[in-house]
Structure 1
Amino acid sequence: MTIAIRTAKTADAAALAGIYLDCRRAMPYAPLAHDDAAVRAWFAEALLPSAQVWLAERNGEVAGFAACSEQDGARWLDQLYVAAPHQGAGIGRALLAQALSGQAQACRLHVFQANAGARRFYEAHGFQLLGLGDGHDNEERCPDALYQWLPDTKE
């Protein structure tokens, strides 16, 4: 099994949007706020042109992605999704390592409170819970959790 991480390109938008949509449909506690066409357009026209996006390939197949932005003196991990057939194979860990590599500043993220697997994953990789929200700040209106990683806690 070979995992390769590379910068995502506009031509990857459909594959990444497909992973996102499949993963989000597996989250019954957080219904999608937009239809498929709007999500696919957002990937192609907004996310890929404006964020740092890395794509993971496993044995030549697109397996997952991570997207980061910079705000308020911190890096934000805005997206990290791994396609179901590739979960548990180290893809998420590899993408997170890429997102955190060379970081001299904090990295923050929001995750749905009900997403226990993601919360365990981030906590296992040094992220600390900063607070819980009622969901009024996210499109899905689902309770969320704010996490932060600091460089000195890096594994």
Structure 2
Amino acid sequence: MGLSHAGRVDSATPRRASLEDAPAVAEVLLRSRRAAVDAIPPAVHSDAEVRDWIRTVVIPEREVWLAEDADGRPLGVLVLDGEWVDQLYIEPAFTGMGLGSRLIQLAKSRRPAGLQLWTFVTNTAAQRFYLRHGFTVAETTDGSGNEEKAPDIRFIWAAL
């Protein structure tokens, strides 16, 4: 018998992603965004464009962490770009089980001087998550600076 969802999350180990992981990273991101359709604006890029961006930009130029269960199934992705949490996505069936918290702790350990990130105003679950993890609101915008043109919030975290 296989591991339960909680068992898979408990066994999940983050590791640096390589170019060979690009398809898995892209699929976690795409499935997570589709599951959050009510909380985020519609995608402005096709799935093919996202896959290409992950392969040609994200993995080569950013610090990408892929969390996999004991069987090698991808469950979560963390992308750091300097002090920015550029992407944090968990497979939809595994949200709320602590993996996002583990990945944000990893981000804090990798960037002890501080972090910042953007999330959409409509993504209230993400806002609660980041506030719970010690982030504070730095600014709110009308969205004119993002591709989706949707109001967003910049959160910051600074070690005490």
Name the TM-score, length of structure 2 as normaliser. Answer: 0.88
CA contact (8 A) 1:106 1:151 kept: yes
Amino acid paired to 1:113: V
Distance 1:102 1:84 in 2: 25
Q: Which amino acid aligns with 2:23?
A: A
Question: Which stretch shows the higher mean deviation, 13-22 or 126-135?
Answer: 13-22
Counterparts of 1:68 and 1:42 in 2: how far apart (Å)?
15
Equivalent residue, structure 2, for 1:17: 26
- RMSD across aligned positions (CA): 1.2
Q: Which amino acid aligns with 1:78?
A: D
1:32-87 CA-to-partner distances (Å, cap 9, x unmatched) read: 111111100000000000000111112331001010111xxxx0000000011111
Q: Choose which of 46, 66, 85 in structure 1 pairs with 2:78.
A: 66
**Residue in 2 aligned with 1:125?**
133
Q: Structure 2: how far apart are the matches of 1:115 and 1:125?
A: 16
Paired residue total: 148
Tell me which protein shows more strand as a share of its residues.
1
Specify the alignment match of 2:3 in structure 1: none
Residues 108 and 114, structure 2, Cα contact 8 Å, conserved in 1 = no
Query: Structure 1-normalised TM-score?
Result: 0.91
